[in-house]
Amino acid sequence: MANFKRKYPLARLRRLRSTKSIRALVAENKLSTDDLIQPIFVKESLKQMEEIESLKGIYRHSEESILKEIEDLVKTGIKAVAIFPVIDNDKKDEKGTEAINEDNFLNNVIKKIKQNFPDILVIADVALDPYTTHGHDGVLNSDGDVDNDETIKILRDQALKLVQAGTDIIAPSDMMDGRIGVIRKALEEKEFKNTLLLAYSAKYSSKFYGPFKDAVESAKFFGDKTKDTYQMAVANIEEALHEVALDINEGADIVMVKPGMPYLDVLKAVKDKFQMPTFVYQVSGEYAMLKAAIEKKWLGDEVMFESLLSFKRAGADCILTYAAKEIAKNL
Ligand code: PBG
């Protein structure tokens, strides 16, 4: 701890800021490609990759173009990607049945990625929203609410199919109670002892996910339609710690806070309290805001790096960010 008896002019903190070199030497936090995970969208039946309007520089990839994209990412030194599928509308139903089809689009894409790039870590979400007509992360009961215990059985089966396809890191993003334990138990039983579980533990019911829903062409959640009965209330932080504790006890290897910048306090609290590998998701709305302001030249493009370094300072071990590739290229 600094000696606070020392006063000006003995203490001149500007000495340590006086040149670029000394600033580098005393930097408390650094960002490297090892800290970055690129989320990638891949769309079924798509011929040519298409840019997502609200996520400048980010594309819906075809089965072919995603391989080229991963090749580029590997060259930058990025070690992990999170793959999000956009599923044909005629394959969606109320129960998200296509999620547990071992021959579904995403499982086939993952197999191809792992055949071509065995070293890249593939992360896949466990949640039903890409597969349901209503866009919820689980199946609905007769009241129209997501049925927790029915949903986690389906999520368990979805997770097993993803692992069989070659997924390295299973990332339940659904916020059902008890899902980490159920998935961990199933993985143990099937001898998938080394499959990693990255739990979206403190996932808030946030409006910052808007552009993601455009990207995956999922049902819109505005007005009364929300995920408030399963995703966390924005007002709460103690509850976030409770969620993280449960997920660790149920067998999570890594915990995650999401969104990122509006929730740096949560990220710091989680890291300080549990000292577990802790990831953060800089979500689509955060990226879109920064990109829009950069495009208008209201902000310089260094803000993206600044936002990512702030996650490191708050305690993140790794960051899921749409800016991963562009930042990795400049590191
Ligand atoms: C699906 C999922 C969402 C995001 C990641 N996985 C959307 C949601 O829960 O509504 C959001 C990511 C982003 O906004 O970048 N469960």
CA proximity to 290, closest of 319, 323, 320, 257:
323
The answer to whether 203 is a known catalytic residue is yes
Q: Which residues pair with 61 in a beta bridge?
A: 42
The domain segmentation of the chain, as residue ranges, is 29-330
What separation in Å is there between the alpha carbon of 230 and the centre of ligand 1?
13
The answer to whether 30 is a known catalytic residue is no
Report the pLDDT value the prediction gives residue 3, as an integer from 0 to 100: 63
Q: How far apart are CA 158 and CA 153, in angstroms?
A: 9
Nearest-atom index, ligand 1, CA of 174: 16
What separation in Å is there between the alpha carbon of 212 and the centre of ligand 1?
6
154-204 confidence digits (pLDDT tens): 999 999 999 999 999 999 999 999 999 999 999 999 999 999 999 999 999
Nearest-atom index, ligand 1, CA of 127: 16
What separation in Å is there between the alpha carbon of 77 and the centre of ligand 1?
25
20-67 confidence digits (pLDDT tens): 999 999 999 999 999 999 999 999 999 999 999 999 999 999 999 999
Lowest-pLDDT choice from 62-76, 102-116, 215-229: 215-229
Asked if 180 contacts 253 with a C-beta cutoff of 8 angstroms, the reply is no
| Stretch 232-259: mean pLDDT | 98
Q: How far apart are CA 38 and CA 29, in angstroms?
A: 21
Which among 258, 291, 312, 325 is annotated as catalytic? 258
Model confidence at 320: pLDDT above 80: yes
Q: What is the CB < 6 Å shell around ligand 1?
A: 125, 127, 129, 137, 173, 209, 212, 227, 283-284
Which among 92, 95, 161, 203 is annotated as catalytic? 203
Q: What is the CATH number of domain 29-330?
A: 3.20.20.70
Q: How far apart are CA 76 and CA 74, in angstroms?
A: 5
